[in-house]
Amino acid sequence: MTADYKTPGTDAAESDARASEDGALRPADAPRLDPRPVYRPQIDAASSRAFGRPGGVTGSFAPSGAQRESEPAVKVRAPDPVLAEAFGRPPGETETIQRDPHNTPEVVPDEAPPADPWRNPEAGVELGSPALHARERTEPPAPALTAREVLFGGKVAPRALATLGALALAIGLIGGLLAAVITADRSSLTSQRVTLAQNGGDEDLGQSQVAQVADAVLPAVVSIQVAVGDQGSTGSGVVIDGAGYIVTNNHVISAAATAPDGGKIQVIFADGTKTEAQIVGRDIKMDLAVLKVAADNLTVAELGRSEDVQVGEDVVAVGSPLGLSKTVTRGIVSALHRPMRLSGEGSDTNAVIDAVQTDAAINHGNSGGALVDDTGRVIGINTAMLSESGGSVGLGFAIPIDDVTTVAQTLIRDGEMHHPEIGVNARTVVNDNTSGAEVANVQSDSPAAQAGIVEKDVIVKVGDRTVTSADELVVAVNLQKIGQPVRVQLIREGRLVDVDVTPASD
């Protein structure tokens, strides 16, 4: 069909009329096509029987009462009693199935329900009689079986059975002899004739230097146990006088000294003797304390001098690290005059010591113990350790014996210790020009204020001691004597200035 096709019998006037009826939606010269024929697919017999109209029905709906000849009549059965009770009308009701919740008649069943425990959820467990009764069976008596009948079914003669037993016994004896022969070469590894010999005592090889020092010092070093309520701690101490005076660190016994109800301090000697101790005096600025015990025949430690201590010499640390009494470790003096600030939680110690530094292993519990030179003389009291791991892999620090002797002697005589001070607070400063202790503030009417020291002054020397840090300034002042003037060198606005300061008692 082409675009110039025209319906037969249609002239130009009729086309114009139709164009005027369609309006502008259809062009005047547009062709008009015939309707397409309706396509009706072929329906197979099975689909026709399943979805087609029943026989004799011509309309869309079957007439009322119509029924397929092939379909059986539907019989309406009585509903299930349970469903009738649940969804049916109450007895006597005909108009509605609505039940009044406030006026529900009592339903009396026509007959009692069957006594079936499976239908009654409240029924208890019951045991019924068996469906069938087992019949009693009587077996005729039988004779007992012999070993030959059990093992061989009675098919082996007694003589053959005895032969087999003898053969098994012979095989066992031969196997045992072979095993003994095979394992006979073990005698080359073990022997009952070897006796080990030990030598000792016949020849005097002499004690090592450390062993001699340990023998001399261990009886003079004690373990200290402090108990405050349920809390406890341990430390060490050194017997410094036969009258029962023992020196230790202040932080070892400060918990008992500062407790409101007091604490209990016990001293354990090298032979295991335990006795209570009393506090003679404490020095929180040097972390030292003196105890006194009532004991006789004490071994007194020999005290050395700080001026004899040299870097590199052998030393031995004696004490009770980690609660292990009579422990000896060995090392050397690795540095002298090392400023070390001491303070910690649970202690009122606030000290800066001019420490002896050592690489001898020192742990918690060594505090208050002795640092001894190779002649057995005490050259310091072990006080602190510096370790990144918290263990003995680090450095230990001890209070020099000269400071220990001065403080202990004063505490035994007076019960208290006073130190010199000049009345300044400083902080460490390090720059390209100098390093020292920069004055942060000056106390009014203090020795430093009277000498003209002001803030921002950098103290670089006190007496003969060079000052490179704030802690070293504290050490340098502690070395001075109360009431005796000392020359203090400082830097003020780039100029070196010397002033005389007279330390006062704290």
Catalytic machinery residues: 251, 287, 367
- Residue the block writes with tokens 């209070």: 399
Tell me how far CA of residue 391 lies from CA of 364, 366, 394, in angstroms. Answer: 8, 12, 7
Q: Percentage helix, strand, coil, to 5, in the chain?
A: 25, 25, 50
DSSP structure class, residue 303:
B
CB environment 438-464: b (16+ within 10 A), e (fewer): bbeebeeebbbbbbebeeebbbbbbbe
Three-class HEC string of 192-206: CCCCCCCCCCCCCCC
- What span, in angstroms and rounded, lies between the C-alpha atoms of 361 and 358? 8
Q: How far is CA 390 from CA 235, 344, 365, in A?
A: 17, 14, 13
E-strand stretches of 139-255 = 221-228, 231-241, 245-248
Which residues, 6 or more positions from 333, have their beta carbon under 8 angstroms from its beta carbon?
309, 310, 311, 312, 313, 315, 356, 357, 358
- Residue owning tokens 């460490």: 428
Determine how many CB atoms are found less than 10 A away from the CB of residue 270: 16
